[in-house]
Amino acid sequence: MERIKIFESEYRFMNIIWEHSPISSTKLVKLASEQLGWKKSTTYTVIRRLCDRGAIKNENAIVEPLVNQEQVMRMQTEEHIDKVYKGSLKLFFTTFLQKEELNKDEIEELKKIIDRYEKQE
């Protein structure tokens, strides 16, 4: 899948769209004002930009996502690992695990994820 760049403020806006989709642009303006403090013009500018990047569509004043939240999270995580950890998952996990204190259940869940990944290869 092609990477679609979603900036932090746009991600918060996308959360509104994911939660309320399909949503009228009028209602989206109201929610963006309430939840993000955005003006009407800002909301319509961001709608246009996200449409141009293929993240959402706006047809007949109804806004719908073209990407789901998991896809965006995955793309942003990959970008972060590439940028900060030079693409090294090992360095990412090592750094993460040095800071985080995981409980036994979380450790078991991570082991299961790794096991599933190994079986896919």
Residue-wise pLDDT for 60-119, tens only, equals 999 999 999 998 988 888 888 999 999 898 898 888 888 778 888 988 998 898 888 888
- Overall average pLDDT of the 33-58 stretch: 97
| Torsional sign, CA 5, 83, 11, 71 | positive
Q: What is the pLDDT of residue 2?
A: 66
What pTM was computed for the model? 0.75
Residue (of 92, 99, 97) closest to 78 by Cα position: 92
User: Cβ distance 17 to 65 under 8 Å?
Assistant: yes
User: Cβ distance 14 to 69 under 8 Å?
Assistant: yes
Rounded Cα gap, residues 3 and 5, in angstroms: 6
